Amino acid sequence: MKLATKLLSVTAIVSATSAAAVDLEVTHWWTSGGEAAAVGKLAEAFDASGDHWVDGAIAGSGGTARPIMISRITGGDPMGATQFNHGQQALELVEAGFMLDITDVAEANNWEEVIFPPALLDACTIDGRVYCAPVNIHSPEWLWLSNKVYEDLGLPVPTNWDEFVASADAVRAGGKIPLALGNQPWQSSLAFGALQIAVAGIDAWRAVNVDKDMDVASGPVFAAVFEAAANARALAVGSNVQDWNQATNLVITDQAAGQIMGDWAQGEFQVAQEVAGTDYTCLPGLGLNAYLSTGGDAFYFPKLDDPEQEAAQKRLAALLVTPDVQVSFNLAKGSLPIRGDVDLSAANDCMRKGLEVLAAGNLVPGGDMVWTPDTQTQVADLMVEFWKSDMSAADAQAAWVAILQND
Ligand code: GAL
C-alpha cells in the first residue's frame, strides 16, 4: 500500500479516535446471509475507527428500499449515509441539494488516482463534484451452476449458456429445475441484461445501450436475445421462489442446476461454506462473452446540518475506499473492489475470474448508468410480464424497443 495512503488512513483513524465517537445511521438493503456478512465488515471497520455504525438495514431488494430512503431524505428525516447503486438513482436528490458534497474527501484521498475503473468515480460525480463513495463493482452477468446436479446425472458441467440450455432436458428428466429464478421484477430484468451481452455480443450491446441505436434493438441480433430469453423462461418453470437468494439457495441445495445472478450470489455460496470450482461453478458473461458491467454499490451522505455528524460522514466516506476495507468487504460480498492496488491473494476461483475480466478491460457501463430509473422500471415490468406469460419473443422485442425509444 502506498505510504501516502497509509498515512492518510492513519490520519482518518487518529482524527476519529481523538474526536468523540459519533453515531451514524446507515441504511442499505443488504439482508441476505452473504450481504449481511459483507455489510458487517463495513460496520466493524467504522466502529474500529472510533465512530459507531448504527445499522439501518431495510429488508427486500433495492426496489423496496430506495423509495423508503428517498422519502426519508426528502421528508426531513435523513440518515447519516445510505446505499444506492451509483449512477442515476440518486441524481435527482443531488440536483435538489439534499446530498453532501464529499469532493474534499475524494481529493484528500486521491480517489481520482486510486479508484479503478475511473467510471466508478465518474458515476459518483455530478457537475464536477463528488457525492458518493463507491464500494464495489457488482457485476450482474454471471451464471452460477451446481456441480453436484451435473455430476449426479453423469453430465459435464456446462462451460457456457448454450451448453447449459442443451443439458436442460436431461436435468429436467433428472428431477431438477434447470434455471432458478425468483419472482422479483428486477431478477427477470437482470437475466435479460445478462443474456443481451452473452447472446448479442458486446458491439451490438453497445450499439443499443450506449449509442441507443433502435435499428439494432429491433433487428435480428436482438431477436436472438429474445429467443434466448424465451428459452430461459421455459427452463425456469418450477422455480417458485420470491427473493434472489432463495433462488440461489435452490442451486446451493442442488434442487436447481443454475441461476443467472449477480456476483452477490457468491456471498450465499460462501456462507453455505461451498467452494468455488469444487461445489459450484461460476461463468462470467454466461461463458459466452466475458464482459462485466461496472455498475455497483456506493454510499451517499444526506446533508445533516450538524458539523460533528458531517465530519463523521466524511470519515466514513474515506474509510469505505481504503484498501483494507475494500478487501474485507468485497471478499465477503463476492463483488470486485473499486481499486487495483489491493492484495486479493485470498480471492477464490470466481473472484479471480472477475478480476481477469477487469484486468482485460472487458467492461461495459451498468444499466443504472445508461438508462433512467423510469426506463429501467418499465423494462423490468415488461420482463415480469414476458417471463410470467406466453408473450412471444417478437412481441416482447417490439414492446422493449418502444420503451427504449422514450428513454
Ligand atoms: C443490487 C446490489 C447488490 C445486491 C443486489 C440484491 O442492487 O447492488 O449488492 O444487494 O441488489 O439485493
Instruction: Give me the pLDDT at residue 279, please.
Output: 97
Q: Which of 349, 335, 367 is nearest to 138 (CA)?
A: 335
Whether residues 147 and 91 fall in one domain: no
Q: Return all residues near 184 (Cβ < 8 A) that are at least 6 apart.
A: 61, 63, 242, 243, 244
> Helix 220-235 and helix 373-387: axis angle, to 10°?
60
Altogether, the residues listed in the chain come to a count of: 407
Residue 208: inside a domain: yes
> Residue 180: what residue type?
A
Q: How far is CA 40 from the centre of its chain?
A: 17
Give strand ranges (E) for 45-167.
Answer: 52-57, 81-85, 125-126, 129-130, 132-134, 142-146
Whether residues 40 and 94 fall in one domain: yes
Instruction: Give me the pLDDT at residue 345, please.
Output: 84
Q: Which atom of ligand 1 is nearest to the CA of 335?
A: 9
Instruction: Give me the pLDDT at residue 255, please.
Output: 98
Residues of the chain where predicted confidence (pLDDT) is lower than 70: 1-19, 367-369
Give φ, ψ of 182 to 5 degrees: -85, 165
Nine cell digits for residue 318: 474515506
Grid coordinates 415480469 are at which residue? 384
Whether residues 232 and 378 fall in one domain: yes
Which residue, by CA, sits nearest to atom 7 of ligand 1?
62
Which residue, by CA, sits nearest to atom 2 of ligand 1?
297
Whether residues 8 and 125 fall in one domain: yes
The answer to pTM > 0.85 is yes
| Distance, CA of 198 to CA of 217 (rounded, Å) | 15
Whether residues 180 and 329 fall in one domain: no
Residue 365: inside a domain: no
Whether residues 69 and 172 fall in one domain: no
Residue 366: inside a domain: no
CA 260 to ligand 1 centroid distance, Å: 14
Residues with CB under 6 A from ligand 1: 29-30, 35, 61-62, 85, 138, 244, 264, 297
Instruction: Give me the pLDDT at residue 4, please.
Output: 54
Whether residues 95 and 106 fall in one domain: yes
> How big is the CA angle at 99 (ends 96 and 103), to the nearest 5 degrees?
120
Residue 344: inside a domain: yes
Nine cell digits for residue 69: 430512503
Whether residues 380 and 236 fall in one domain: yes
CA 83 to ligand 1 centroid distance, Å: 10
3-state secondary structure of 143: strand
Whether residues 189 and 279 fall in one domain: yes
Grid coordinates 443439458 are at which residue? 167
Instruction: Give me the pLDDT at residue 191, please.
Output: 94
| Exposure string for 214-241, b = 16+ CB within 10 A, e = fewer | eebbbbebbebbbbbbbbbbebbeebeb
Instruction: Give me the pLDDT at residue 2, please.
Output: 54
Query: Taking the CB of residue 278, how many other CB atoms lie within 10 A of it?
Result: 9
Domain that holds residue 339: 3-138+294-360
Inter-residue contact 33 to 264 (CB < 8 Å)? no
CA 16 to ligand 1 centroid distance, Å: 30
CA 155 to ligand 1 centroid distance, Å: 32
| Distance, CA of 290 to CA of 201 (rounded, Å) | 10
Residue 352: inside a domain: yes
Which residue, by CA, sits nearest to atom 12 of ligand 1?
61
Residue 229: inside a domain: yes
Q: Residue 110's domain is classified under what CATH number? A: 3.40.190.10
CA 90 to ligand 1 centroid distance, Å: 15
Residue 41: inside a domain: yes
| Exposure string for 63-85, b = 16+ CB within 10 A, e = fewer | eebbeebbebbeeeebbbbbbbb
Q: Return all residues near 150 (Cβ < 8 A) that are at least 6 apart.
A: 156, 157, 158, 167, 171, 257
Whether residues 282 and 312 fall in one domain: no
Whether residues 163 and 289 fall in one domain: yes
Which residue, by CA, sits nearest to atom 6 of ligand 1?
61
Instruction: Give me the pLDDT at residue 19, please.
Output: 60
Give strand ranges (E) for 91-176.
Answer: 125-126, 129-130, 132-134, 142-146
Instruction: Give me the pLDDT at residue 16, please.
Output: 46
Nine cell digits for residue 34: 452473504
What is the total count of domains within the chain? 2
3-state secondary structure of 258: strand
| Lateral strand order in the sheet of 142-146 | 177-179, 256-260, 142-146, 280-284
CA 169 to ligand 1 centroid distance, Å: 31
Residue 8: exposed, middle, or buried by beta-carbon count in 10 A (0-12, 13-18, 19+)? Answer: middle
| Distance, CA of 47 to CA of 60 (rounded, Å) | 26
Instruction: Give me the pLDDT at residue 346, please.
Output: 81
Whether residues 26 and 101 fall in one domain: yes
Residue 122: inside a domain: yes
